[in-house]
Each structure stands twice: as C-alpha cells, then as structure tokens.
Amino acid sequence: MKIVFFGTPQFAVPTLEKLLNHSEFEVLAVVTQPDKRRERGNKLIPSPVKTIATTHALPVCQPQSVKKNTETLTQLRQLDADVFVVVAYGQILSQKILDIPKLGCINLHGSILPKYRGAAPIQWCLHNGEKEAGITTMLMDAGMDTGAMLLKATTPVGLLENAQDLADRLAVIGADLLVETLLKLESKEIEPIPQDNSEATYAPLIQKQDYVLDWSKSAIQLHNQIRGFYPNCTATFRNKPLKISASAPFGSACDRELPPELQEIIPKLSHLSTVSDNPGEVVSITKGLGAIAQTGEGFLLLREVQLAGKRPQSGWDFVNGTRLTVGEVFGSGS
C-alpha cells in the first residue's frame, strides 16, 4: 500500500515509524509543517516528523498553506498514493486533497470520537477529569473531525498522568491502531460508522486564560487543569509568577486513586477544615514532598513548580529554597 504521511509533532512519530518498518506499506513522501524558529540563536528547527523523514531519505513537503499551494497539490497527485495518513498535521486539508487517494484520507485522532473533536483532545480530556481516553481512526471529510469512524482503542487514565504522559501512551496505541485500520480497510473488513453529531463535544485550542489557576476552585478541578494543560498553568507566589506543573489532590473521591506514599498524607490532613475562607493558603508542609495549599474544596499538594527565570524543581526543593512557611498564600495566575 502506497502512503503519503501528513504529520508534525512527536505524537505522530510512532505511527510514521510503524509504517516505515512494516512490509505491507511504502511511504512515498511526508508532508509536515514548515520549520520553526525556536530556542536561543533563533535557529530553524525541523518538526519531529521531518527529522524522521530525513533520516529515511523521504521526500518532504512543507507548504505554508497546504490548501492554497497548487504546487503541492500537483505533487500529491503525481505520487499516485493509495491512501493519505494524517496524524496531528496541524492544517486543514481541502476537498481537492481529500479526493486524491484511492482509499481516502485516514486520520488518527486522540479521542474517543465523537467526543473531543478539535485541536486539543488529550488536554481537555484530562482537564475534564475523564477516567478513560482513547484513539479513533476515521475517514476524513471536509468537517473538523466529523468523518466516519473506522476503529477505536481505549485506555484508563491515571490520576497523576499529565497530558504529555497520556499523549506518549496514546501515540503508541494509535500507531498499532492505524496499521490495523489500513490492513482491514484494504481487505474490506471495516464498515465506516457515521458519527452521532448530537454526542459531539469539542476540544478547542488552549488560550492564555486557560492556564490561570483560581484557588477558589476545588482541589480536583485545579489538579485536572494543571495536568491537562501541562506544564503551563500559573499562580503567583510573593507577587511573582509561579508555574505549577505537577500536583496531587486531597479531600475528594479520588483519594483512593493516589499512590500509597501520598495516601499516607490523608490522615494528617483530617484535622484541617476542607473549606477555608482563604483559598491558596499553605496549610501544611510535608517533608520530602512539598507544600499543601487550601483550595475552594480540599487540598492541593504542589509536586513540581517553576519560579520565573528558574528551572522546574520539586515541591520539596521549592519549599527549602524559598523557606516557605505555613500561612503564606499563593495567588491566582494572571
């Protein structure tokens, strides 16, 4: 089966590598986003997918706008591919492109469709406290993740798992699912299933305000926000920005899902009120772990933080480095 692969971030790499190493598939070319200037020196950095493609000496196409680039359209037609595989490419494909391959365009989407259509399904899945995540393969159409579904795979979500952790796992699960989808599609063992639009939910691009932590929310809400939008959620500490990239919630139905070393803390918090007039206040400091703050409901352990201009550090190193004391108050982000 001849394939053109569309993809950009690390999430797409396991699928591309799986296709390259499978005897039933021939990857003809890769389409990925243009190189971006990053890091010091303003150097142009290729996408993770381009890096893999270059290693395998594959032709790489990087149009600024794949919908408007007539040269790219011509190249795609000339390749005479059986199927286009699309994994987190980052641009919307035109109907002209969707119509090119014989078997259509197959997309690997990071959710259990029709839930979490859109740009950030894994992040919003965690933000909303879902207990299960998944991958769906679908036949693409002109809509935003609205095509007929082919195969699905699901996996439980750990309470302390963040968006990067989950994305890494789903990327591997998705690579196997995509291979299975292509093989069954070619042998006509799959019957595409239309999505029920009435059950659809959306996962839009994350905005700056989504990173702002509000201590009046419950501990589980704050925790889900921190891990869902990892590693960029912000509070303030001594009137300066503070990123909180890992946490653990206490005082909710999720207590039993905490690892044993964190469950040991629960009895020590039992004498504290679960509702405070001062959300964000440090109510306890646990040796080796870090500060525990009051929230609108329950308590939040700060497991990893980053002060402005500093590297990320453990919650315990943060306590020691700042000489944090019980009674200090974290402010909401801005």
Cα 212 from chain centroid?
A: 18
Contact 177, 206 (CB under 8 A): no
Give the mean pLDDT of 49-67: 97
Residues contacting 60, CB < 8 A, separation 6+: 29, 30, 31, 32, 50, 53, 54
Residues contacting 318, CB < 8 A, separation 6+: 290, 291, 302, 305, 307, 324
In angstroms, the CA 1 to CA 103 distance is 10
Give pTM, 2 decimals.
0.94
Helix, strand, coil percentages (3-state) for the chain, rounded to 5, are 30, 30, 40
The residue with tokens 């286009």 is: 84
Residue 273 has pLDDT above 90, yes or no: no
The residue with tokens 């391959």 is: 101
Please state, as a whole number, how many other Cβ atoms lie within 10 Å of the Cβ of residue 31: 27
Q: What are 34's two structure tokens?
A: 């243009």
When computed from its CA atoms, the radius of gyration of the chain, rounded to whole angstroms, is 23
Question: Which residue pairs from 142-147 have beta carbons closer than 8 angstroms and sit at least 24 positions apart in sequence?
Answer: 142/95, 142/98, 144/92, 144/117, 144/118, 145/107, 145/109, 145/113, 145/114, 145/117, 145/118, 146/114, 146/117, 146/195, 146/197, 146/200, 147/107, 147/195
Which uninterrupted H or E stretch holds 289? none
Which uninterrupted H or E stretch holds 37? strand 36-38
Per residue in 148-184, pLDDT (tens digit) is: 999 999 999 999 999 999 999 999 999 999 999 999 9
Confidence of residue 39 (pLDDT cuts 50, 70, 90): low
Which uninterrupted H or E stretch holds 212? none
Least confident of 112-121, 153-162, 192-201, 274-283: 274-283
Per residue in 125-136, pLDDT (tens digit) is: 999 999 999 999
Residues contacting 256, CB < 8 A, separation 6+: 263
Which uninterrupted H or E stretch holds 84? strand 83-87
- In order of 3, 29, 51, 81, 107, the CA distances from 23 in angstroms are 13, 16, 22, 16, 21
Residue 260 has pLDDT above 70, yes or no: yes
Residue 277 has pLDDT above 80, yes or no: no
